[in-house]
Amino acid sequence: MTVQNEAGTGPEGRDLLEVWIDQDLCTGDGICAQYAPEVFELDIDGLAYVKSGDDELLQTPGATTPVPLTLLRDVADSAKECPGDCIHVRRVSDSVEVYGPDAA
């Protein structure tokens, strides 16, 4: 488990990332769950949600979950391929979106 310090960086000084899904834009295609099933899951309502590190579905609007470094590529690909443009990956330290529809 990565421990976050005050600046939002991990032990190696890397910026920690978190991901969230805007369910209002989710099309329910499930591409995210195919790329990163450890992070995303479709619920009975047909929409995608992020999961906690304990595999719990986080259904509160705007809920975020950390992006494990080992899954960064899969999560980034999910955001890039999402037809609903609803997956947002941002830095914890300053909330700047690095992957997703609002990324620079």
What backbone torsions phi and psi does residue 15 show, to the nearest 5 degrees? -65, 130
* Percent of the chain at pLDDT exceeding 70: 87
**Residue 1: how many other CB atoms lie within 10 Å:** 5
CATH of the domain at 75: 3.30.70.20
The answer as to whether 29 is a domain residue is: yes
Query: Number of folded domains in the chain?
Result: 1
Q: Is residue 5 part of a domain?
A: no
In a domain, 70, yes or no: yes
pLDDT for 14: 61
For 27-77, the pLDDT digits (tens) are 999 999 999 999 999 999 999 999 999 999 999 999 999 999 999 999 999
CA dihedral (89, 51, 14, 101) in degrees, to 10, reads 0
- Can you give the pTM of this predicted structure? 0.85
Task: Name the CA dihedral angle for 70, 72, 74, 79, rounded to a multiple of 10 degrees.
Answer: 160
* Residue 37 forms part of a structural domain: yes
Greater confidence (7 vs 84) lies with 84
Question: In this structure, is residue 8 part of a structural domain?
Answer: no
Q: Is residue 73 part of a domain?
A: yes
Are 44 and 34 in contact by the 8 Å Cβ rule? The answer is no
Domain with 53, as residue range(s), is 17-99
